[in-house]
Chains A and B, each alone.
Chain A
């Protein structure tokens, strides 16, 4: 089925593709180099290029001042990026796949939207950032995240100031998308550290374009574009993600990679219209009630 696109859309896509190419060629995105008015950014993780060397993990740990551990066992409060290694059965035999995992930075992040104190927020640039100074570590963000990414560290944070009140239990930590680096015109640490160029960074739409272009080249698949209603992370793989998720499940790996992962806000958002219309309905019903009362008073007064 052919799709018609408008001239504006054509120009937008062409510019985005050009920006993506430039970003990939230079290793740094054109948009993110400008420290002001960066716009939304995204990354592409190309699983056909990742060899699981864990340089990204180490770079992330260094960037955030965490103890260096080249082989962490998973995501922790001191390890925001974790590379999973799985063997996937394909038609051509077995294939080793290495999957760097971290926060996907959703377009409509349930973790941020449902934070009871709004201390987890989506930045205009796209990364979803937890305010470590005020997070109480309730783990709700972890529960509502489709991948259960945030990790709690106990014995730290604002809740200590609230004791002996029984509020809070620590601070939730996760990838902050290297927001400070992005605002300083740099690429995230993991992007810069990848020796294979498997993690690309740039203007979000350009990254989306690039992911599609790559998927087409390799006859592969994209993960993260539709999941949870859309994210800023686009994985590209020539192995179907269903198979990767099966392999992760078999190894009891966390986080999993469920295709078409749902956003917990989908269902309540279906009711939002009724809620936003409730004031109008209330006023309308009051109008009817008031009219009846006036009529009744008129009759009583002859």
Chain B
């Protein structure tokens, strides 16, 4: 639960489960990219198999097993994340009306043009990036599950349906790769780097929150006030 840690001068931003889900998705996605590209006949052609220690990468049976194992982790994490967000009604990361415009203002402000608008817990561009990356991940997981199902012995699906499933899986993979490049590229801007610790120990600097996430800060203060009033009444 988000709260201000006055003594530490930090704000608790991410729960342990959010951190674990983030890294489970990140690591499994990395393995899925590597093993998925290995399923294309690329690694022999482009000499990856000649890199010391990567001789195995040209073996489709190995990369296919890797793809399945990482797929299990990603599928679990994605469904956990979606179900948990819905059950706890936590939609802070979901895009809001006006996010495109606000993102443009934030980016321009980081380039020294204009004033950055106040933000809630997440920046508008984070919400858009979440929708883009999350949407593609979901598409990849769903089409991946269909692909796994069609590989089972005796399963015969419509060939056109399989073809579209495969194309969507491949297209969403390319889009996800672009999305992740953008996601990591955000840290080129110094202003965004203060958010990084949250994905490791869940906390960010209080001062940073005050000046950049002013809307969220006011909400946290209000929540704190509300909580202390309730505690007072209870006593």
Instruction: Show the binding face of A for B, using Cβ within 8 Å.
Output: 107-108, 113-119, 121-124, 138-140, 143-144, 166, 169, 229, 264-265, 267-269, 271-272, 274-276, 278-283, 285-287, 289-290, 293-294, 296-297, 300-302
Contact = CB atoms under 8 A, between A and B. Distances in A.
Interface in B66-125: 67-69, 71-72, 75-84, 87-88
Given A268-B65, A271-B68, A286 B79 contact: yes
A282 B77 contact: yes
Interface in B202-235: 227, 230-231, 234
Contacts of B84: 286, 289-290
A301 B45 CA distance: 62
21 contacts: A107-B154, A114-B60, A114-B64, A117-B166, A117-B167, A121-B163, A122-B159, A123-B159, A140-B39, A140-B60, A264-B61, A269-B152, A275-B71, A278-B75, A279-B79, A282-B78, A282-B83, A286-B79, A287-B87, A290-B88, A302-B230
B83 A286 contact: yes
Contact of B69 (A271, A279, A293): A271
A249 B149 CA distance: 36
B51 interface: no
B188 interface: no
Given A121-B159, A300-B227, A278 B72 contact: yes
B170 interface: yes
A115 B61 CA distance: 13
Contacts of A115: 166
Interface residues of B, number: 48
Dominant SS among interface residues on chain B: helix
Nearest to A143: B60
A119 B60 CA distance: 18
A290 B67 CA distance: 29
Interface of B: 1, 17, 39-41, 45-46, 60-61, 64-65, 67-69, 71-72, 75-84, 87-88, 145, 148-154, 156, 159, 162-163, 165-167, 170, 227, 230-231, 234
A108 B39 contact: no
A166 B44 CA distance: 13
Contacts of B71: 275, 278
Contacts of B88: 290, 293-294
A121 B162 contact: yes
A276 B145 contact: yes
The binding surface of chain A is classed by DSSP as helix
B65 A118 contact: no
A243 to B, nearest CB: 28
Contacts of B64: 114, 264, 268
B108 to A, nearest CB: 35
A275 B83 contact: no
Given A275-B71, A281-B76, A300-B227, A269 B83 contact: no
A265 B77 contact: no
Contacts of B83: 282-283, 286-287, 290
A116 B78 contact: no
B75 A282 contact: yes
Given A118-B167, A268-B68, 18 more contacts: A108-B151, A116-B170, A118-B163, A121-B162, A124-B156, A140-B40, A166-B46, A267-B61, A268-B64, A269-B153, A272-B68, A272-B149, A272-B152, A283-B79, A286-B79, A286-B84, A286-B87, A290-B83
